[in-house]
Amino acid sequence: MTRKTAWLFVRLGVSAALIGWLLRRVDARAVAEQIGSIGFANLLVILALQFLNTGLKSYKWQRLLAADGIDLSHSTAFASYLVSTFFSLFLPTAIGGDAVRAVDVARRSGRRVATATSVIADRVLGFAAIGLVGLTALAAGSAAVLAPRLRWSGAVLYAGVLVAGAALFAGWPLRLLEALGFARLPRLDRLARSAAASLGAYRRSGRLAELTALSIAAQAIVVVAVYVIGRSLTIAVPLSYFFVIVPLIGLVESVPVSIYGIGLRDVSYVYLLGLVGVSQAQSLSLSVLYVILTVVYALCGGVVFALRGSAPPALARKDG
């Protein structure tokens, strides 16, 4: 058994153990009844919010690519985002979906390193938005119900994400590679220089504030979508509290120790919503329904993938 296969089984075990623990504590029939009670209109609203979220994120990514001289239509960027969402269902991590997106557009741009750098930068901007939204919600007092230790832990986590994002755009990781002597490896040096050139193009474009604002808007849409799911399940929790917990859960579920965040996400919602009096059945129903709707939405990406033809000829020079 390879190390990759062993790690996959570990993650499957973590997800199964957490879900099993929850099901021993929560009435599965009550969860099924809760999920079945959601109205069709609510489903349409949530799916519309997911499309809007992808529209904003793909536009942000298109603007990143354009800053580095890669011309890509928004419709192509949107379709690529949808396809990557679909493949994220099957690949071990969300990063797997990002890899699909990078390969897809690299075939069109002909600039593999620049395209991969844009995908990484896009992902980092998304995490930075989580940090900004979470810190703002904490500063606004929306998490007064949380224990001080949990509030401070959340603040440190959010701040750490912001610092890491700023470090990437400032080029610190590349400077660290150079300081460690990796510049002596010709191929790695070429890749690092190409990535540094793309990061420099982003900074010179003057678009970072705009791109950060788009990331924040996309994150806010995710929070509102989860809030709508909660309201459809008669969860009477103010929107301000969701602005505290949804970004936090987004960071927790991104830790690659489970499959698609299953288990981590569910336990987090049960715990954090339980602090404001929401029943375990309702909390688990919200988490499960969120995953179901995300899968339904991701299947749209599968349809796009099936309908798309082969990639057009390269649009720009190759860079590695």
Average pLDDT across each block of 10 residues of the chain; the chain has 320 residues. List them in order. Answer: 75 83 81 83 91 95 94 92 86 71 88 91 92 89 80 88 86 72 70 85 91 95 94 91 91 81 88 91 91 90 81 48
Kindly report the CA angle at 54 between 52 and 59, in degrees rounded to 5? 100
Q: Which two tokens stand for residue 193?
A: 């220089």
- Pull the structure tokens for residue 312: 């057009």
Domain holding 231, by residue range, is 27-307
**Residue 96 identity (one-letter amino acid):** G
Beta-carbon count within 10 A of 259 CB = 17
Q: Indicate whether 294 belongs to any domain.
A: yes
Q: What is the pLDDT of residue 153?
A: 87
Give domain status of residue 3, yes or no. no
Residue 262 lies in a domain: yes
In a domain, 18, yes or no: no
Tell whether 314 is covered by a domain: no
The answer to whether residue 134 sits within a structural domain is yes
Q: Is residue 273 part of a domain?
A: yes
Nearest to 194, CA basis, from 99, 66, 315, 318: 318
Q: How many CB atoms lie within 10 A of CB 142?
A: 19
Render the burial of 62-73: b for 16+ CB within 10 Å, e for the rest.
bbbbbbbebebe
pTM over 0.75: yes
Domain count within the chain = 1
> DSSP secondary-structure letter at 314?
P
pLDDT at 317: 46
Is residue 316 situated within a structural domain?
A: no
Helix (H, G, I), strand (E, B) or coil at 146: coil
**Do 314 and 108 contact (CB within 8 A), yes or no?**
yes
- Residue 187: alpha-carbon gap to chain centroid: 30
Q: What is the largest CA-CA distance in the chain?
A: 62
